[in-house]
Structure 1
Amino acid sequence: MIHSITSSLKSFKSISLNSGLNLIVADKSENASDRQTRNGSGKSSLIRIIDFVLGSKCDADSIFRFDSLINEHFSMSFDLNGDRTTASRSGQEKSRMVVDGVYDDWPVKPKLHRDSGEERISVTNWRTVLGSQMFDLPDDTDSYSPTFRSLLSYFVRRDSSGGFQEAQKQSSKQQNWDVQVNLSFLLGLDWQISHELQLIRLKEKSLETLRREAKGGALGNLVGHVGELRTRLTVAERHVNKLKVELEGFEVLPEYRELEQEASTLAVQISELTNQNTLDREKIETLEKVLVEERPPLQSELAGMYREIGIILPELVTRQLNDVKEFHKAILKNRQLHLQGEVDDARSQISTREETMARLDVRRREILSTLAAHGALDQYTRLQEELSRQQATLEELRKKSELARQLESQSTELTIERAQIKKQLTTDLDDRAATLNEAIIIFEDFSQRISDHEGSLVIEPKDNGPEFSIVVEGKESKGIRNMQIFCFDMTLAVLWAKQDKSPGFLVHDSHLFDGMDSRQVGKALEIGAEQSAKHGFQYIVTLNSDQLEAAEFSPDFDAQRFRNPVAINDASDTGGLFGMRIH
């Protein structure tokens, strides 16, 4: 239980607490208007201090970092595993605790500060100590395991964290795995099942990310479908093997380029000689045609021509017609001899060229035969480079194929693991039926006593892990949800009061009773008083005075005897818990 809450702040109103029910009531000042509230009186600040001393975060917006409070220490004296312990903390030294208690069973011991003589421990180690002493948590838990802060938040809910929205969640930001792991622990189930399921979720998330990226994201060129990759891999292996065979049979010819150039030159020469022969054959054909068609003029033609000349130029016609005939014969014979000589020369050149062409062609064929059987060094180098590229592509495809197979295999394995997890969960719920039934009955009893029936606690094995829910017939209202939270938290407090180690207290803010009618508020406080006295835990409640005054209690229940004497009200400066305006 918590014995007292104090502070180095001189104006702070220290609070001493008793076992069982403790009502911290904020009064309305005599001069307050109807518009004034008690939201600044310090009810929620009391819960903040308890949470602060028990290792909560102290971010920049925390009230303990305000200028008026940052250098002040806030202390709490409480029972920790049966030993009286005092712990103090300030916003200025938010990462360190000053403690005084019995340290024999602590997993981490505080260290003596030489200058101040104080026993000090880091907030991180303080949480480890509290987890060990309140919930029997091991000091070397893995990720996604129960943590002291998550477990404690079901016993000290904070409205500012969204703790009064759902019974199953102590914060609006609490993730599903955290709910499953910590509630499984609190309700006596095998929390390792939820732990393993979260690890499966993380693997599934990674696989889904890979699949998504493979469809066009950053990994679009890294993975693909197994069937498609198998086909590409088979084709790539065939290409690589073919290139290997070509390289194994490749013979390098150092003079390859010179021979290739010579063969090209020979081909050009042969082509030119062929063209020249074609021209000479056309020439021969023309000359032979002239030789055949050309003849001397007839005698009648010469006689006629001479008569004409004699009339026109009589003095020139002095030679005999026979002489002219002989002259023409001589000219024609000389011309035919000349043309025949050209024909013979052309034929001779053609013959010479054909001999040259034959010789050149023989050499060209020899070169081509050599080139066909060998290759150039640069060709060999290019083949090697191509083989290296193809081998790199092949290796990449092999890796892709292996990765794709692993993805599909892991997906299948995770599906199997999920099924096994659900089977383990079902078995665990069956094996721990007695423990679950106790929690269900306690919750049911509280629910029926507060209001005829405002919900049943249901715990089911689902594909996504244990599901903790409260089933309500009809429409839920804020008042009904708050009653469910009360019943749920009170159930946990009763169950843990029976453990060897427990927090030993349950703290509820006045926000929990918003929306409840006066009869339900009365019933809830009566149940809290009864159960805390019966099971030996402390129930601390902050209330507005009008909530307490309006509450309908049983005739034999005197709420005033549980009221703490601390006087806090809505006075602007000194009425609140801090006795001053916080800024």
Structure 2
Amino acid sequence: MKILKLTIKNSSKKVVREVEFEEIGLSVIYGNVSKPNDDKETSNSIGKTLFLKFVDYVFGANESSEIVKSDIHGWFLEAIVKHNNSTKNIKRILGNSDIEVDGEKYTLNEYKEKFQIERSLYSKQVFLKQKNSLIGNRSEASKDDYIALLKLLNLSTVSDKTNDYYKVQNDIKEITKLEKKFVTFFNGTEISEIEEKIFLLNKEIDEKEIKLQELEENISNLQISKEKQDLMDEYADKNYAIKLLQADYQKFRIEKKRLSRAVDELTDMDITSSEIKKLYDKAAFELPDLILRRLADVEKFHENVFLDRKKLIESKLSEIELRMTELEGKIYTLDIELHKIANVISENEVYKESISLYKDITDSLQNLKYEQGELSKFESLINERKDEEDKLAIKYTELKQTYNDNQDKIEEYRNFIYNLIPNIYTEDVNAYFSIILKNRHKRNRPLTVDLSLTGDTGEGVGEVRKILIDLLILKFNTLLELLIQDSSCFSGIDNRQVTNLIKLGHEIGLKEGKQYIISLNDYQLNKNDKTAVQLVKSRTKLKLDENDKLLGFNF
């Protein structure tokens, strides 16, 4: 994605600035200002950095309340961009998060998705202030800095493996934090000491569980004297006999209940002929004498059958009750005998000692397991950390293999930077670029990027090193089509080297078909380099000074 034109309009839609950019090579925002007396001072008050920030907004940057103050809320940024060989009209209203593309509204996230804008990558080619480290805006390069750099240098396989390695390192870091919190409950005891405590505790529990198992077997198969063994056999026989007697007793009890219910039902069914006659008299119905005689005969027959059945059931009941009484006596006698035998057996000293020891070990084991439960979470943390450390070793091996597989590319980048140096310094200066894979470590990040310059480099060598990395990415990356540098990126560098770096950026842009957009102060340009002066003059797209500030007023 490239920016071809940017128009700034005020809230009344009046054009304040309209700037067209070169599609390839250098485009300059020129500040016609004098060098500050204090090197720490800047001359950004005329609006160069603000303008580049507006350009950055076109590339999906979040709006900054420090830069976009309420004075310019409602102002318009209208841009023409080129994306996939097609031009698009972009409109962004300052103070409003929505963006229009060819008249269609998008949220900022939708806008970035539409144009495949990955801001972490743009942070490696859009610089509105000096970098604080060789590859990023933080004093210590972050994981994101390394991942973005590797991706832009076509080292995606290394980037992926590095990212995997970082993830495991971060997991170990979080687990270690939890371990340290846990240690505070043990009055600052060292983790290694707690690990030792857990190990010994587990061993003690294992030993006691084995001892308990042996005791259970001994108690179950206790070797007692012949007399005691006979008692055990007698106890088992009598115990079995009493269970049989109790079963018989229950059967008789159920049968007794059934027969008693049958007697009660027969009693309820008994009715005489005289009672039947009374029922008819009560109903004022006179029965013939023949009927009365037949009722008497039926009554006599029924009485004989009824009484016979009742006597039979009652006889069975008496027999069952007698048997139940006998069984109760036998059960009672056996029960007494069983208790006596049980008392004798329980008095066996070996048995009693085994039971006592079993109880002591059980109580001790219970206390140990409680302590084990308290330590189990910490033990799981330790095991999880060790698993992650094993995984880290595997990830390091994978990263190292991938790193070694890409040495040809790294060597190409090293040679590229080495060959740039004669175009920057007239003196004998050498450069060595390296991406270094460090030894495996649980915390230290695996990669580091270094660029050393040796020889008479003069002032600002640190900033030169940073810009060389920017030019390296501009040359070789296939994901972004521009490099933006604010004039502050050149602060502290001799203007001869500044001018040479700008010429190199322009040449790379032309060769690779990319944009190189910078802001530059007048004093930063080497006026003795006529070629460079002419280049900057021909490529200046906006010129600002104290009397012609970007927005026309102090901001």
- State the TM-score, normalized to the length of structure 2: 0.63
1:568, 1:576 within 8 Å by CA — same for their partners in 2? yes
Whole-Å separation in 1 of the counterparts to 2:33 and 2:533: 24
- The offset of 1:539, in angstroms, is 0.9
Whole-Å separation in 2 of the counterparts to 1:22 and 1:466: 35
Pair 1:201–1:534, CA change in 2 (3 A): same
Pair 1:431–1:554, CA change in 2 (3 A): farther
Whole-Å separation in 2 of the counterparts to 1:158 and 1:37: 13
The one-letter code matched in structure 2 to 1:43 is K
2:124, 2:148 within 8 Å by CA — same for their partners in 1? no
- 2:124 is aligned with 1:119: no
- The offset of 1:196, in angstroms, is 0.6
Counterpart mapping for 1:157-556 below 5 A: 157-159=127-129, 163-169=130-136, 171-172=137-138, 175-189=141-155, 190=157, 191-217=159-185, 225-235=194-204, 391=366, 394=369, 397=372, 400-401=375-376, 403-404=378-379, 406-451=380-425, 452-453=428-429, 455-463=431-439, 464-473=445-454, 479-496=460-477, 499=478, 502-548=479-525, 550-553=526-529, 555=531
- The offset of 1:569, in angstroms, is 1.0
Matched position secondary structure for 1:225: helix
The one-letter code matched in structure 2 to 1:193 is K
Structure-2 residue corresponding to 1:5: 6
The one-letter code matched in structure 1 to 2:475 is V
Matched position secondary structure for 1:577: coil
Whole-Å separation in 1 of the counterparts to 2:88 and 2:392: 44
1:165, 1:481 within 8 Å by CA — same for their partners in 2? no
Structure-1 residue corresponding to 2:86: 83
Structure 2 stretches of 5 or more lacking a match? 221-339, 348-357, 440-444
Whole-Å separation in 1 of the counterparts to 2:205 and 2:541: 86
- 2:96 is aligned with 1:97: no
1:44, 1:509 within 8 Å by CA — same for their partners in 2? yes
1:157, 1:507 within 8 Å by CA — same for their partners in 2? yes
Matched position secondary structure for 2:16: coil
- The offset of 1:219, in angstroms, is 10
Pair 1:149–1:475, CA change in 2 (3 A): farther
Pair 1:192–1:8, CA change in 2 (3 A): same
Whole-Å separation in 2 of the counterparts to 1:3 and 1:564: 14
Structure-2 residue corresponding to 1:152: 122
The one-letter code matched in structure 2 to 1:53 is V
Whole-Å separation in 1 of the counterparts to 2:390 and 2:510: 49
Structure-1 residue corresponding to 2:549: 576
Matched position secondary structure for 2:506: helix
Pair 1:49–1:183, CA change in 2 (3 A): same
Whole-Å separation in 1 of the counterparts to 2:199 and 2:101: 66
The one-letter code matched in structure 2 to 1:6 is T
Whole-Å separation in 2 of the counterparts to 1:522 and 1:3: 24
Q: Deviations over 1:134-177 (max 9, x none)?
A: 6xxxxxxxxxxxxx212101111121xxx4232321x1267521
Structure-2 residue corresponding to 1:317: none
Structure-1 residue corresponding to 2:226: none
The one-letter code matched in structure 1 to 2:489 is L
Matched position secondary structure for 2:88: strand
Whole-Å separation in 2 of the counterparts to 1:22 and 1:561: 10
Whole-Å separation in 2 of the counterparts to 1:460 and 1:34: 40
- 2:55 is aligned with 1:50: yes
Structure-2 residue corresponding to 1:145: none
- The offset of 1:516, in angstroms, is 1.8
* Bigger Rg, which one: 1
Whole-Å separation in 2 of the counterparts to 1:430 and 1:235: 49
Pair 1:48–1:235, CA change in 2 (3 A): same
2:81, 2:88 within 8 Å by CA — same for their partners in 1? yes
Whole-Å separation in 2 of the counterparts to 1:58 and 1:387: 69
Pair 1:85–1:440, CA change in 2 (3 A): farther
Greater helix content: 2
Pair 1:413–1:219, CA change in 2 (3 A): farther
The one-letter code matched in structure 1 to 2:7 is T
Structure-1 residue corresponding to 2:113: 128
Structure-1 residue corresponding to 2:26: 21
Pair 1:438–1:230, CA change in 2 (3 A): closer
2:91, 2:99 within 8 Å by CA — same for their partners in 1? yes
The one-letter code matched in structure 2 to 1:580 is F
Whole-Å separation in 1 of the counterparts to 2:492 and 2:552: 30
The one-letter code matched in structure 1 to 2:197 is E
Whole-Å separation in 2 of the counterparts to 1:518 and 1:552: 10
Whole-Å separation in 2 of the counterparts to 1:467 and 1:581: 43
Pair 1:468–1:565, CA change in 2 (3 A): closer
Pair 1:124–1:388, CA change in 2 (3 A): farther
- The offset of 1:237, in angstroms, is 6.7
2:121, 2:148 within 8 Å by CA — same for their partners in 1? yes
Query: Number of residue pairs matched?
Result: 406
- The offset of 1:445, in angstroms, is 1.9
- State the TM-score, normalized to the length of structure 1: 0.60
Whole-Å separation in 2 of the counterparts to 1:77 and 1:454: 42
- The offset of 1:232, in angstroms, is 2.7
Whole-Å separation in 2 of the counterparts to 1:77 and 1:218: 65
Structure 1 stretches of 5 or more lacking a match? 101-117, 135-147, 250-365, 374-382
1:21, 1:562 within 8 Å by CA — same for their partners in 2? no
Matched position secondary structure for 2:177: helix
Whole-Å separation in 2 of the counterparts to 1:455 and 1:512: 20
2:179, 2:378 within 8 Å by CA — same for their partners in 1? no
Q: Deviations over 1:510-542 (max 9, x none)?
A: 112222222212211221222212221111111
Whole-Å separation in 1 of the counterparts to 2:7 and 2:470: 26
Whole-Å separation in 1 of the counterparts to 2:36 and 2:456: 36
The one-letter code matched in structure 1 to 2:551 is F
Pair 1:201–1:556, CA change in 2 (3 A): closer
1:11, 1:579 within 8 Å by CA — same for their partners in 2? no
Matched position secondary structure for 2:46: coil
1:494, 1:535 within 8 Å by CA — same for their partners in 2? yes
Whole-Å separation in 1 of the counterparts to 2:42 and 2:173: 48
The one-letter code matched in structure 2 to 1:5 is L
Matched position secondary structure for 1:44: helix
Pair 1:77–1:33, CA change in 2 (3 A): same
The one-letter code matched in structure 1 to 2:146 is Q
